[in-house]
Amino acid sequence: MARGEEVSSAADTVRTERDRFVAFAFAAADIVLELYPDGCIRFAAGATSALAPPKGGKFEGLTFESLVVEEDRGVARRILAEAGQHRMDPVILTMSGAGGRPLRCVMSGYRIADFGNHFFISLSVVRANAAATQAASNIKRDEESGLADADSFSELAAEVLKAGREGGGSSELTFLTLPDFEAFRGRVGEDVRRRLAQQIGEQLRAKAVDGMTAGRLGDGRYGFVHRAGLDLAGLEEEIAETTRALDPEKRGMAVSASTLDLASGSLDEDGAIRALTYTIKKYMTSRDGTLSVQSLSDSYEGMLNDAVERIANFREMVGSRAFRVAFQPIVSLETGAVHHYEALARFADDVDSPFETIAFAEETGMIGEFDLMMCQRVLEILGELGPDDAPEVAVNLSGRSLSSTVFMDALEAVLERNPALRSRLLFEVTESAEIADLSDSNAAIQRLRRSGHEVCLDDFGAGAAAFSYLRELTVDYVKIDGAYVRDALDDKQIRAFLKAMNGLCRDLGIETVAEWVENEATASFLMSQGVQFGQGYYFGRPVFDLAPARKPAPESAPPQPKKAKSKAKPKPETTTPPAPSSVRRRGFRETWG
């Protein structure tokens, strides 16, 4: 309207003001609703045709809850019940949309005392490209609680962390533990347990960022992300009250909250997400039933800070190559000759074994960078010896790295830069981090084998899935886990397993390596079983100097056998185990001790 034609009458002024405010409301929302204090709709306007058509054609008189899909009704009810006289934090709710389709909306609103405590609600449909909907539509939910499952929760929490770093305000993540859950469950039965999960689910979602950043992380374990400053003592009490109300004996359970600040600033975004994901995983696997409430609430914050520091240190270590490579021989049990060496990482701050550091790198998804760097270092060391003298060396690859095509491409690039030396490399695939997708891993293994690298499956027998691994993965060697080798002579049962594993490999035409061979008696026993290769302190400890392949054999040593096969050719399907030779067996110590 033109400025000159200002409205004159008082009624017109009121109407104009009202229209102006409705216009403001629609600038931010698609649908606006006014509800009575009991949640019944008094007024609805805007793009209401996006909602499932109301029975009787009118929204007025229906409950707000009835517009929401079944799974979100409890949350909707709770949000209204808890709304104070301030703006509600926006929450993502799924409404029943037209045509039976779910309609994701951001809901926010006020409850206004001056208007008879009515609710004024705005709903904005989340557009398909919005990050939040993307995240929401990928959420896998735990059915009982309606909360995200553990993986989805980690992803959602990471999204909030990212948003916070981009300036979206500070959030916190709280773990909620019911330490006595097992006993409670045994006492109250399945039905109560299910109702408890559902109610806690609603309670957490009502307070979680976007109404969805809450997850069920195990039995009696939950996590949710909320704005900083939430009354957690109040929440603990509220949930404890829920457990009492559901308990036929009205005893209930204690609830303990442990909070992390998501604004841990010293790492970059990628590192911060790794630290967070790691801490969530640690929470899920920890056994903290016996911890006091206070130590529980301190321990995860400490763990997160610790992870942040270790991630920074590990990256610094890889970036500055502050690690060394030790080499340990793998010898033919028959001849005592070195077949190849295994490259083992040595970190400055690890007293002896790199195991802890490697496991941490695996759990935080950083092992790929390290495996590549290790490969590069080994190629450099081999380069110093020259292509003629460089022995064959096995590099460890985490099973987790193998399933990443990004990793495999990067590995291929490293190998291609070293055409003269790459034929010296073979790979050991460790299963210390469970191999997630066997067919992907096998594809990666075959890619390496087609390029002429032999592959050894490490730690065979250590995990639960040994036999299915062998069915799905085609490899050249299997390394029998050291625990079987170490105890073989003393333990009949272990010996039976060792024999079975070796027999299976023989039938499959796969050569076996036994690790942790510490004495001659063990070496003899292994050879009598037809194991081809041995590795262990008996033959040689890991050392930093890599001997040239053509080092002249010592006087007492048996002659070096000619190389069994060329790396460039595929391995034959079957191999005949060499006949044991007591003469050669005696040569071990002199040659490699």
| Nearer Cβ to Ca ion (155/459) | 459
Task: Report the run of H or E that residue 297 belongs to, with start and end.
Answer: helix 293-319
Select from 89, 159, 202, 428 the one that contacts Ca ion (CB under 5 A): 428
Residue 329 binding partner per list Ca ion, ligand C2E, none, with a CB distance cut-off of 5 to 8 Å that depends on partner kind: none
Q: Which of 337, 192, 321 is nearest to 251 (CA)?
A: 192
- DSSP strands (E only) in 307-414: 323-332, 338-347, 393-398
Residues engaged in binding ligand C2E (CB under 6 A): 328, 344-345, 353-355, 358, 367, 371, 374, 396, 398, 430, 432, 458-459, 482, 515-516, 518, 535-537, 542
Minimum distance between the CB of residue 429 and Ca ion, rounded to whole angstroms? 9
Q: Starting at the edge strand that comes first in sequence, how are the strands of the sheet with 118-125 ordered? A: 41-46, 31-35, 118-125, 102-112, 91-96
Q: Is residue 459 at the binding interface for Ca ion, with CB under 5 A as the rule?
A: yes
Residue 328 binding partner per list Ca ion, ligand C2E, none, with a CB distance cut-off of 5 to 8 Å that depends on partner kind: ligand C2E
Q: Which stretch binds Ca ion (CB under 5 A): 173-181, 196-204, 263-271, 392-400?
A: 392-400
**By the 8 A CB rule, do 477 and 513 touch?**
yes
Euclidean distance between CA atoms 271 and 274, whole angstroms: 5
**By the 8 A CB rule, do 42 and 121 touch?**
no
Residue 398 binding partner per list ligand C2E, Ca ion, none, with a CB distance cut-off of 5 to 8 Å that depends on partner kind: ligand C2E
Euclidean distance between CA atoms 454 and 476, whole angstroms: 6
| Nearer Cβ to ligand C2E (213/398) | 398
List Cα–Cα distances, 324 to 166, 393, 415, in angstroms: 38, 15, 20
Minimum distance between the CB of residue 479 and Ca ion, rounded to whole angstroms? 5
Euclidean distance between CA atoms 108 and 112, whole angstroms: 13
| Nearer Cβ to Ca ion (454/459) | 459
**By the 8 A CB rule, do 286 and 179 touch?**
no
Minimum distance between the CB of residue 476 and Ca ion, rounded to whole angstroms? 14
| Nearer Cβ to ligand C2E (161/367) | 367
Q: Which stretch binds Ca ion (CB under 5 A): 27-35, 420-428, 441-449, 527-535?
A: 420-428
Minimum distance between the CB of residue 424 and ligand C2E, rounded to whole angstroms? 16
Minimum distance between the CB of residue 214 and ligand C2E, rounded to whole angstroms? 35
Euclidean distance between CA atoms 397 and 362, whole angstroms: 11
Euclidean distance between CA atoms 42 and 61, whole angstroms: 6
Q: Which stretch binds Ca ion (CB under 5 A): 85-93, 113-121, 192-200, 389-397?
A: 389-397
| Nearer Cβ to ligand C2E (237/356) | 356
| Nearer Cβ to ligand C2E (204/367) | 367
Minimum distance between the CB of residue 430 and Ca ion, rounded to whole angstroms? 6
Query: Tokens for 221?
Result: 């374990």
Euclidean distance between CA atoms 410 and 423, whole angstroms: 17
Instruction: For the beta carbon of residue 297, count every other beta carbon within 10 angstroms.
Output: 18
Minimum distance between the CB of residue 444 and ligand C2E, rounded to whole angstroms? 14
Q: Is residue 396 at the binding interface for Ca ion, with CB under 5 A as the rule?
A: yes
Binding-site size for Ca ion (CB under 5 A) equals 4
For residue 373, count CB atoms less than 10 angstroms from its CB and return exposed for 0-12, middle for 13-18, buried for 19 or more.
Answer: middle
Minimum distance between the CB of residue 542 and ligand C2E, rounded to whole angstroms? 5
Q: Look-up: residue for tokens 């495996």?
A: 371
| Nearer Cβ to ligand C2E (390/513) | 513
Minimum distance between the CB of residue 536 and Ca ion, rounded to whole angstroms? 11
| Nearer Cβ to ligand C2E (240/433) | 433
Euclidean distance between CA atoms 315 and 519, whole angstroms: 38
Q: Which stretch binds Ca ion (CB under 5 A): 8-16, 244-252, 271-279, 457-465?
A: 457-465
| Nearer Cβ to Ca ion (256/396) | 396
Residue 202 binding partner per list ligand C2E, Ca ion, none, with a CB distance cut-off of 5 to 8 Å that depends on partner kind: none
Query: Tokens for 213?
Result: 């950043």
Select from 172, 362, 458, 476 the one that contacts Ca ion (CB under 5 A): 458
**By the 8 A CB rule, do 52 and 96 touch?**
yes
Query: Tokens for 311?
Result: 């991630």
Minimum distance between the CB of residue 459 and ligand C2E, rounded to whole angstroms? 6
Euclidean distance between CA atoms 206 and 93, whole angstroms: 10
Q: Is residue 108 at the binding interface for Ca ion, with CB under 5 A as the rule?
A: no
| Nearer Cβ to Ca ion (235/480) | 480
Residue 145 binding partner per list Ca ion, ligand C2E, none, with a CB distance cut-off of 5 to 8 Å that depends on partner kind: none
Minimum distance between the CB of residue 326 and ligand C2E, rounded to whole angstroms? 7
Query: Tokens for 205?
Result: 């979602």
Alpha helices in 45-171 (DSSP H): 73-82, 131-138, 150-165
Query: Tokens for 174?
Result: 């709280």
Q: Is residue 371 at the binding interface for Ca ion, with CB under 5 A as the rule?
A: no
Q: Which of 262, 253, 259 is nearest to 299 (CA)?
A: 259
Euclidean distance between CA atoms 205 and 213, whole angstroms: 7
| Nearer Cβ to ligand C2E (158/358) | 358
Contact positions vs Ca ion (CB under 5 A): 396, 428, 458-459
